[in-house]
Amino acid sequence: MNYFSTNFTLGILGGGQLGKMMLYETRKWDIRTHVLDPSPEAPCRISTDYFEQGDLMDFETVYNFGKNVDILTFEIEGVNIEALEKLENEGVKVYPSAETLRNIQDKGIQKQFYKEHKIPTAPFKVYKDKNELNEAIVRKELHFPFVWKSCTGGYDGKGVSVIRSATDTIPLSEGACIAEKLIPFKNELAVIVARNPSGEVKTYPVVEMEFHPEANQVEYVICPARINEAVAQKARDLASKVSEAFKHVGLLAVEMFQTEDDEILVNEVAPRPHNSGHYSIEASYTNQFEQQIRAILDLPLGNTDSKVGGIMVNLVGAEGHTGKVVYKNIEKILAMEGVTPHIYGKKETRPFRKMGHVTIVNKDLKEARRIAEGVKKTIEVISK
């Protein structure tokens, strides 16, 4: 099929920053796009051919939107799966498929999937609600500390808590959840896997994630991860196995733990471009967003190697600031070597909201990490 400079239409569910960065690539290749998002100020609005405001969880809205596109993808997991299934049955190509999303959208189902497919993951138990979880604590079936995860709706550190005592469960949300063994680990790693409908598969180099101690958000993504080659290969092989099990098409970000004895455990996955792949825009031969487009259109996958070492710093709203956003000292970081800021286009900031990211590239990863620290200390995302 000829996708370029034609009426072929790619639909994207979700109009946030991931969609916006995907649209850089569709613009580069002149691929027509439609975007659906609930916000009238969605970052995608300025660069898509057609924008529709609507609820991503509403069956009719998603179904009617999908009928007018040739291939449908998504940049957020919170979409109506029944609508995707009906569209697939009527001949619309949905990538990743509704089946893939069904196995990932609910973290309880996702964890059971790993168990069934013999994919190493932390021991866990699923509870139907907070009440059942508390009963398990009273009966001493659960031992502190453990990790609590909401089965649905968690993102950016929300929906995940370390529970060290019975009182820690008080602020938890109601609804289905997982209690997972707290694993002592050396590193949090991630591998992005690309797969097209023809079955071509490529993995990106392993990245290492450094987290903010309070917000449970990634502060730095470092590529390549500072681990030995044998561990890196083990992580890439496991990511490929996970991809094969899910039969996904597009990108799959596989987040992992490297344990004290160098075992690799899968934490969770995201069937879309991911924060851990943003470094690739500046540092890779083929960035993750171009790769997503190549994969879902069944084009040859691009080279996943890095041209240079890359570190990504998330720009999140400063504490104590809510309102119209100001990027304080952005001109100072623009003067630093190898530094590229990306502003997502969200007009309102609030504490810890993801507002952008900055990539630092350098042949010397230690130097890149030093500059990244400087970026983090210099730029502030505040309100007017």
The CA angle 265-268-271, to the nearest 5 degrees, is: 130
CB 185 within 8 A of CB 227: no
199 Cα distance to chain centroid: 22
181 carries a ligand binding annotation: yes
Pairing state between β 185-195 and 201-203: antiparallel
183 carries a ligand binding annotation: yes
Locate tokens 């071509």: which residue? 200
238 carries a ligand binding annotation: no
Q: Is residue 173 packed enough to be buried (19+ CB in 10 Å), middle (13-18) or exposed (0-12)?
A: middle
188 carries a ligand binding annotation: yes
Write the CB contacts of 247 (distance below 8 Å, at least 6 apart in sequence): 97, 99, 100
89 carries a ligand binding annotation: no
267 carries a ligand binding annotation: yes
3-state secondary structure of 27: helix
Torsion of Cα atoms, 175 then 147 then 124 then 277, to 10°: 90
Bin 103: left if φ > 0, else alpha if -120 < ψ < 50, else beta. Answer: alpha
180 carries a ligand binding annotation: yes
Locate tokens 């469960």: which residue? 169
For 260, other C-beta atoms within 10 Å of its C-beta total 9
Kindly report the backbone phi and psi dihedral angles of residue 179, in degrees, each rounded to the nearest multiple of 5, phi listed first: -110, 125
Q: Which residues pair with 211 in a beta bridge?
A: 218
Q: Which residues are annotated as a binding site for ATP?
A: 107, 149, 180-183, 188, 267-268
Q: Which residues are annotated as a binding site?
A: 107, 149, 180-183, 188, 267-268
